Amino acid sequence: MKTLIGTDIYLRALEPTDLDFLYHMENDESLWEVSNTSTPFSKFVLSQYLENSHRDIFDIKQLRLVICKKDSDLPIGCIDLFDFEPKHHRVGIGIVIFSEEEKQKGYALQSIQLLARYVFQHLNIRTVFANITESNSASIQLFEKAGFTKVGVKKDWLLIKGVYKNELLYQLINNVH
């Protein structure tokens, strides 16, 4: 599991003990824009999600890992793989550092780098992509720092609070593939 261990953080599978953490994160309305969520999640629904989180990415086409600090094992966020397409060797990536006091410390960049290394080595992925709202300058800067390149713009792609927003498509391509 060395591909999922960084200098300051590590990525791990979901555990039943993550229920309260997920409940608070998924129901934080400030994150709904980036997660394309519009309704709250109950603890019951999230506990069912946790019960099924062991299912294989080849089966359900997604994977969520918890970002934990190495020095305390404290969960500080999640990083997701979605729209996994083994035939085309591609997968989407999304990340949230939930704890405000843990933002701007390099944990998100480490997490993206670890997960990219993992998918290239273990899932036979060639392309990792990210969808980022044009106004989300922090995420744009983060993904560009991680080596992602902007390859497209989806015009008026998202309707958020009555306003259409453009969504940018970023890719990281494994040229060793």
Q: Chain-wide mean pLDDT for the chain?
A: 90
- Asked if residue 160 is part of any domain, the answer here is no
- Asked if residue 165 is part of any domain, the answer here is no
pLDDT confidence of residue 8: 95
pLDDT confidence of residue 19: 86
Residue 177 confidence (pLDDT) above 70 = no
Residue 92 confidence (pLDDT) above 80 = yes
- Asked if residue 102 is part of any domain, the answer here is yes
Structural domain boundaries, residue 103: 2-125+137-144
- Asked if residue 45 is part of any domain, the answer here is yes
- Asked if residue 176 is part of any domain, the answer here is no
Strand partners, 65: 13, 79
pLDDT confidence of residue 34: 67
**CA–CA separation, 94 vs 66, rounded Å?**
12
What's the number of domains the chain is made of? Answer: 1
Over residues 51-79, mean pLDDT: 89
- Asked if residue 150 is part of any domain, the answer here is no
Check: pTM over 0.95? Answer yes or no: no
Residue 68 confidence (pLDDT) above 70 = yes
Over residues 58-71, mean pLDDT: 91
Question: Who wins on pLDDT, 100 or 95?
Answer: 95
Over residues 2-16, mean pLDDT: 93
- Asked if residue 174 is part of any domain, the answer here is no
Eight-state DSSP code of residue 33: H
Query: What CATH number has the domain bearing residue 9?
Result: 3.40.630.30
**CA–CA separation, 134 vs 153, rounded Å?**
8
- Asked if residue 88 is part of any domain, the answer here is yes
